[in-house]
Amino acid sequence: MGTAGGRVFGPDYRIQWFRVVPFLALHAACLTVVLVGVSWTAVGVCAGLYVLRMFAITGFYHRYFSHKCFRTSRPFQFVMAVLGSTAVQRGPIWWAAHHRHHHAHTDEPEDLHSPRVRGFFMAHVGWFMTKAGYRVNRKYSKDWERYPELRFLNRFDFVVPALFALGVYLLGVLIERRAPQLGADRWQVFVFGFVVSTVLLYHGTFVINSLAHLWGSRRYETPDTSRNNAVLALITLGEGWHNNHHHCSAARQGFFWWEFDPTYLGLLLLRALRLIRDLKPVPERLRRPETRP
């Protein structure tokens, strides 16, 4: 392994193009929108499934499995893991282990998705295509390894996405047959509801690894390049308050009322429904200095 300009190179950090063919194919499949056409129904399904699955990533994969910002029962923990798996971002153990590694080595040579260390492309999308990106460092996932159902989701991470894709297709069949007045058919709903929605979800998630370390303001002098960005918060349901998050990992990432964080509102709703409990707060002493945008 060598370095150049502060960037780390070596066999573990090279993109394994053959292994990422499905990922690339999903992007290419977005071009089929010219074949299936567009309708408001298909766009609505796309937007709805984007929001649902983004919440599953931000609220569950990130704030629960990575940071344990609240508690829940084992059955609902599994429900959250399944919902997160529909985002096609691998299993909860893999996701949590890599994110914890990121926090332990943010913007250091070991950080797989630091734009400072590896450049924008690798930070945004290239890192998880590498051998190092495929691996799970058990040092950061021991607490979740004891659950066989989570190990199953992690080992067979294609099962839930495949079933979800089938479900979206069947939704399209239902709309086509029972509600033809909506002007959408099965393939249109599938392309927009699964293919386009998933690709948008990928890059909506990835911008936090890349742009949230390049573009925005810094309220707190953290030892990394994390930044707060309202635009990214809008795209990611609250994850754009990244400097806040690196300053203090809590259930709420928008520390102040004017910081848009719908994921936190969703968690409050789940708490009201008694599905989760003990949301980790932001200590008042850690909220200062208060700087309005």
Question: What pLDDT digit, counting tens, does each position of 118-175 carry?
Answer: 899 999 999 989 998 988 888 999 999 999 999 999 999 999 999 999 999 999 999 9
The residues near 241 (Cβ < 8 Å, ≥ 6 apart) are: 228, 233, 253, 254, 255, 259, 261
SS3 260: coil
Helices 159-178 and 40-55: angle between axes, nearest 10 degrees: 150
Name the band, by pLDDT with cuts 50, 70 and 90, for residue 293: very low
Average pLDDT estimate for 240-247: 97
CB 238 within 8 A of CB 262: yes
Q: Classify the C-alpha dihedral 68-227-224-236 as positive or negative.
A: positive
| Neighbour-count burial for 266-285, b at 16+ CB within 10 Å, e otherwise | bbeebbeeebbeebbebeee
Distance CA 171, CA 153 (A): 24
Q: How much is the pLDDT for 2?
A: 43
Residue type at 216 in one-letter notation = G
Q: How much is the pLDDT for 292?
A: 40
3-state percent breakdown (helix, strand, coil) of the chain, nearest 5: 60, 5, 35
Q: How much is the pLDDT for 10?
A: 62
Model pTM above 0.85: yes
* Per-residue three-class SS string for 131-148: HHHHCCCHHHCHHHHCCH
CB 258 within 8 A of CB 226: no
Q: How much is the pLDDT for 141?
A: 95
Domain range annotation of the chain: 9-284
11, pLDDT greater than 80: no
CB 148 within 8 A of CB 93: no
Average pLDDT estimate for 74-102: 97
The residues near 75 (Cβ < 8 Å, ≥ 6 apart) are: none
SS3 268: helix
The residues near 219 (Cβ < 8 Å, ≥ 6 apart) are: 228, 243, 244, 247, 289, 291
Average pLDDT estimate for 223-231: 96
The residues near 177 (Cβ < 8 Å, ≥ 6 apart) are: none
Q: How much is the pLDDT for 27?
A: 97
CB 265 within 8 A of CB 256: no
3, pLDDT greater than 80: no
DSSP letter assigned to residue 124? I
